[in-house]
Structure 1
Amino acid sequence: MPTERISFPGHDGSALAARLDLPDGPHVATALFAHCFTCGKDIPAARRISARLAAIGIAVLRFDFTGLGHSGGEFANTSFSSNVEDLVAANAWLMERGMAPSLIIGHSLGGAAVLKAAAALDNIRAVTTIGAPFDPGHVTHNFADAVPKIEAEGSAEVSLGGRPFRIGRGFLEDVASSALTDVLPDLNAALLVLHAPRDSIVSIDNASQIFLGAKHPKSFVTLDSADHLVSRAEDAEYAADLIATWAGRYLDLRRPAPPPGAPEGVLRVTEADAEGFLADITSGDGHHLVADEPLAYGGTNKGLSPYGLLSAGLGACTTMTLRMYARQKGWPLERVSVDVTHDKVHAQDARTSVGDKIDTWHRRITVTGPLDASQKARLLEIADKCPVHRTLERSSTVITEMAD
């Protein structure tokens, strides 16, 4: 996933640090991501969700709000409204680049901010909130003990996530007056609400209020046992897959046709998790699957292993070959299934030196229908003629080169 480090002016002119995660292949849409309160663009949930969306062709701009992370400006002078203005500024930067976002995603207080911003942005077609509060003022419970001092003295330093932040009276006044009640009915975009039932920071009743306040089209999906920060990789990947699948109903995610002269049948495999083995596989327009390794070999078991994919190819090719032959002969083949097993796994093979042929595939074919013994025997012979079977039986040549 190519990533550009960029900056753009925020609501007060301060330079906001951002990352633009781009697809390896065709760019079909753009999304804008808003992080949680006092978090940043590089928290695990933001990085993982962005990477998964980029894998299907959606570029994602994630940035640090004013005064946070690597962005300029003073956090003490910011507010919920200034976060919304930063989002509007990010949207304008993308539009100037010719990448107008159609999807906007917000996490926690960032979720409330994207709801507020989306109502004013005509180019947004889909909005997703993750663990968002219905009332932006809900965020003050994180520093409730300091609120009296802030109100009395104008500001106070508070500790959030083990880091010091100065909160001003203006912030309290701003979040108190920034209700979402008025903007939700006028969202003019499809809404996906994601929330964990056990979220101990922002309770799930906030999701219910957001969902009920918005008009259709809207969807509400729980994130099961995820925590508020969606810190586990599997929870972030699940959220990303949900967003990508759901957004396809409201955004035009069709991949453009290949340019003239481009080779047909090119399948691209892209690493999705540098800490594990998960990989995205794309082929042509709309074909996407994932490959992985079992948990026992350091993977996350979210997809077939490389040898599992080979076995799947053998099984699929066998069923297709038998169906084609039976159809040509007019035989009453009602259904065919193939069980395939392989005697080793990829992770073991990767540590094996090249030598004698050690691969053995076991293929068990089941056919149903009023077929006689001679027809079944012939189908068994035909199975050995399937193209993938023939490829596996004979030696092949793999030509490898390094891209520039």
Structure 2
Amino acid sequence: METFASFRVGGQRVYGMVHLPEPDLNGIPRPAHGFPGVVILHGFTGDRSGDHRLLPLLSRHLADRGIASLRFDFRGSGESEGDFSEMTVSREVEDAVAGFGYFKDLPEIDPKRAMLLGFSMGGLVAALSAPKVNPHRLALWAPALPELWLRMLPGGHLPPAIMDQGGWPIGREFLLEMTRLDPLKAAGQYRGQARVFHGDADTAVPIEMGMRYAQALGCDTIAIPGGTHTFDSLETTEMLYKVTGEFLLGN
């Protein structure tokens, strides 16, 4: 079952989609204390659909295996309220914490098995959010590090106000904050089960970044052979869904 979700952060409305397993249709036992579930965080300039429907198809894959999920658009992205020029990682962490609280309070969800998954910059946000929400499990897809955005600075200097990045208005505060963020330190403070998934052909966010996250988390890195940053082949997407689902189910 798929239903629209909405919650407020800082007076602005955030929109998303909740996916719930349907035991009567796929033969999955109905848990006595609610379904395990995962909150999914999209990447930079992305939205809750992701490239080539990567995230809704993940949610449906998981629902068929008994795992609920929430996908939402960060403020300033997709259909959520706010302007992209206001976007900072700290604001996205606020959205992630609020979304996680909204999700685990749903009557269909087992709050003790609420999990977190972040893709690309969403992985950075997930790492910073994990010590705050203490998810049952933490999955990072191709997680990025701040140094990727610091390379955007013209001549190494901050722009006076808004920088036009391919039509996206990047605010000065977003770049200024990147110099202060330490997602690896935050990852090291998380004490739950974690796993990093990274395509070995990722040129946007090199797999070495995923390995640094895994080292901080004390967990494994699962390399997806031939996987690009957005896992843009049927074979790599299928493998990514399979190993992610197995991890979230505790296999």
TM-score, normalization by structure 2: 0.88
Larger radius of gyration: 1
CA distance in 1, matches of 2:118, 2:43: 7
5 Å matches for 1:4-403?
A: 4-10=3-9, 12-25=10-23, 26=30, 28-43=35-50, 44-98=53-107, 99=109, 100=111, 102-122=114-134, 124-133=135-144, 135-141=145-151, 143-145=152-154, 148=157, 151-159=158-166, 164-215=167-218, 218-249=219-250
Q: Is the 8 A contact 1:196 1:224 kept in 2?
A: yes
CA distance in 2, matches of 1:5, 1:140: 36
Q: Is the 8 A contact 1:49 1:237 kept in 2?
A: no
CA distance in 1, matches of 2:8, 2:155: 31
How far 1:51 sits from its partner (Å)? 1.2
How far 1:36 sits from its partner (Å)? 1.1
1:240–1:202 distance in 2 versus 1, CA, 3 Å: same
Q: Is the 8 A contact 2:123 2:141 kept in 1?
A: yes
Q: Secondary structure at the match of 1:153?
A: coil
Q: Secondary structure at the match of 1:119?
A: helix
Give 5+ residue unaligned stretches, structure 1. 251-404
Q: Partner letter of residue 148 of structure 2?
A: H
How far 1:136 sits from its partner (Å)? 2.5
Q: Partner letter of residue 238 of structure 2?
A: E
Q: Is the 8 A contact 1:49 1:236 kept in 2?
A: no
Q: Is the 8 A contact 1:8 1:16 kept in 2?
A: yes
Equivalences, count: 237
CA distance in 1, matches of 2:93, 2:62: 23
Q: Deviations over 1:13-60 (max 9, x none)?
A: 211110111112136311100011111101221122111111111111
CA distance in 2, matches of 1:21, 1:139: 32
CA distance in 1, matches of 2:21, 2:236: 22
How far 1:140 sits from its partner (Å)? 4.3
| Greater relative contact order (Cα < 8 A, sep 6+) | 2
